[in-house]
Amino acid sequence: MFFKKKGIENARTIDEAYEILTKRPGWNKLPKSVLRRICDHANEIRQIGEFCETAEMFNSLKHNFIPLSKDKTSDDLLLTTFALTMYQLGRKFQDELAEVAHMPKELKFRFVSATLAFEASLLCDPYYFSSYYALIMVHGYMENMTEDAITWHKRFTARYEKLLSISDEDRTPFQEIALNDIDSVKKGVDELVDELGLY
């Protein structure tokens, strides 16, 4: 991976990382308000760098983010569409894991790529619950990754509880959609956790 070539590691704060991102070729074609929200979703500068790296390495920035940004649409819709784009990228690598299970280097590449893509999805839309499910699954089925799967389950639970706590007047249209689907998502996650024997 080439995270250190991106310049974002030189940032001392999330705000500085945002300023660097707004000046990067390609990223400067996206609405600043969208970049601001992506950065605000991050807990660490590292997350922004990995998001940038993943979107550039697999051409999501060039072929998806920039063309989508040319349409006049709301930031919420754009971010959720970005989240879907990265989720689909993660699923591509996830689906290939079984095929390369006997090839350690290929397995590691696909596992890391899937993880980064799903995490990038959540940086765009923290309520994109399918990515939590996927992260629990890919870590749960990997050898010696049980604790990471548990961590992602706890993050899912925290986000699930946060969604339920948002009042009707403060909930965005896309959070409303997430809320409408949350019971089936929660059921699926609970069944996955039982299947993996995480606790």
Question: For the chain, what is the mean pLDDT?
Answer: 93
pLDDT digit string, tens, across residues 82-116: 999 999 999 999 999 999 999 999 999 999 999 99
- Per-residue pLDDT at 1: 42
pLDDT digit string, tens, across residues 28-70: 999 999 999 999 999 999 999 999 999 999 999 999 999 999 9
- Per-residue pLDDT at 144: 87
- Per-residue pLDDT at 6: 55
Contact 53, 6 (CB under 8 A): yes
- Per-residue pLDDT at 3: 44
Query: What pTM, to 2 d.p., does this model score?
Result: 0.93
Q: How would DSSP label each residue in 62-126?
A: IIIIHHHHTS---HHHHHHHHHHHHHHHHHHHHHHTGGGTT-HHHHHHHHHHHHHHHHHHHHH-T
Question: Around Cβ 3, how many Cβ atoms within 10 Å?
Answer: 13
pLDDT digit string, tens, across residues 168-192: 999 988 899 999 999 999 999 999 9
CA distance 48 to 2: 13
pLDDT digit string, tens, across residues 10-28: 889 999 999 999 999 999 9
Whether the pLDDT of residue 4 is over 60: the answer is: no
- Per-residue pLDDT at 2: 39
Give the percent of the chain with pLDDT over 70: 97
